[in-house]
């Protein structure tokens, strides 16, 4: 399997973003926010949109790295998007913004029950994405290729613990 799939794409699949992004976001859980939504419901929908942006940037970065001569600009732009979103991630989870706020949410209650563990997972992504962004800004494609893996593992580490299986 590894031989027919590039490392980057295999990793994207492992992170669980492949299918949703490949379908252009037109998946069943792409539901609409109801009118007069509460602040918690608005936060849940905004989070969904932010994660789709993050998944899109991660996939675009992996796709670019598969090319013979990756564009440093495309790599840097997507790495910057990931790092910026990673910095904001902790603010996307106000208490009460789980499934109680949006039925299709994949956020586990453990996010708020185990706030310290969740915060560690978020900090880990921030650290990895900051490194990724620095390497990309410096045009170090080889370095980015290594660091994209560490970044993907930080995504996966949090998803394994704090995100429920896809609700399609
Ligand atoms: C600290 C925890 C954490 C980290 C780190 C994290 N995620 Fe997530 N991610 C979540 C949670 C929780 C959800 C479910 C949110 C919801 O449905 O309310 C999610 C959902 C998603 C979704 C689905 C979007 C949706 O709402 O349907 C994508 C795509 C995604 N993440 C991509 C990524 C990528 C790419 C990375 C790494 C660059 C990453 N995530 C890192 C916790 C995290």
Reported residue count of the chain is 168
Q: Is the CB of 59 under 6 A from ligand 1?
A: no
Q: Is the CB of 106 under 6 A from ligand 1?
A: yes
Q: What per-residue confidence (pLDDT) applies to 14?
A: 55
Q: What per-residue confidence (pLDDT) applies to 12?
A: 59
Encoding tokens for residue 84? 């910026």
Q: Atom 41 of ligand 1 has which residue's CA nearest to it? A: 155
Q: Atom 1 of ligand 1 has which residue's CA nearest to it? A: 122
Q: What per-residue confidence (pLDDT) applies to 31?
A: 83
Q: What per-residue confidence (pLDDT) applies to 11?
A: 60
**What is the sign of the dihedral through the CA atoms of 15, 16, 18 and 24?**
negative
Q: Is the CB of 155 under 6 A from ligand 1?
A: yes
Q: What per-residue confidence (pLDDT) applies to 79?
A: 98
Q: What per-residue confidence (pLDDT) applies to 165?
A: 79
Q: What per-residue confidence (pLDDT) applies to 26?
A: 45
Contact 129, 76 (CB under 8 A): no
Written as tens digits, the pLDDT of the chain (168 aa) is 344 445 555 565 556 554 445 444 444 456 889 999 999 999 999 999 999 999 999 999 999 999 999 999 999 999 999 999 999 999 999 999 999 999 999 999 999 999 999 999 999 999 999 999 999 999 999 999 999 999 999 999 999 999 997 655
Taking residue 157's Cβ as centre, other Cβ atoms within 10 Å add up to: 15
Q: Is the CB of 159 under 6 A from ligand 1?
A: yes
Query: Can you tell me the distance from the alpha carbon of 8 to that of 109, in angstroms, rounded to the nearest whole number?
Result: 31
Pocket test for ligand 1, best of 155, 157, 162, 167 (most atoms within 8 A of CB): 155
Query: Can you tell me the distance from the alpha carbon of 11 to that of 78, in angstroms, rounded to the nearest whole number?
Result: 16
Pocket test for ligand 1, best of 98, 101, 130, 159 (most atoms within 8 A of CB): 159
């Amino acid at each position: 399997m590894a031989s027919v799939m590039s490392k980057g794409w295999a990793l994207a699949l492992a992170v669980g973003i492949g299918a949703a992004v490949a379908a252009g976001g037109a998946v069943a859980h792409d539901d609409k926010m109801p009118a007069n939504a509460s602040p918690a419901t608005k936060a849940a929908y905004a989070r969904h949109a932010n994660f789709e942006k993050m998944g899109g940037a991660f996939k675009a970065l992996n796709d670019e790295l598969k090319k013979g001569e990756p564009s440093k600009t495309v790599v840097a732009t997507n790495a910057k998007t990931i790092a910026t979103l990673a910095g904001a991630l902790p603010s996307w989870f106000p208490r009460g913004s789980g499934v109680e706020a949006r039925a299709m949410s994949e956020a586990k209650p453990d996010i708020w029950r185990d706030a310290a563990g969740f915060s560690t997972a978020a900090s880990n992504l921030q650290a990895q994405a900051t490194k990724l962004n620095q390497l990309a800004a410096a045009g170090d494609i080889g370095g980015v290729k290594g660091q994209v893996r560490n970044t993907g593992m930080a995504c996966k580490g949090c998803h394994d613990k704090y995100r429920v299986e896809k609700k399609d």
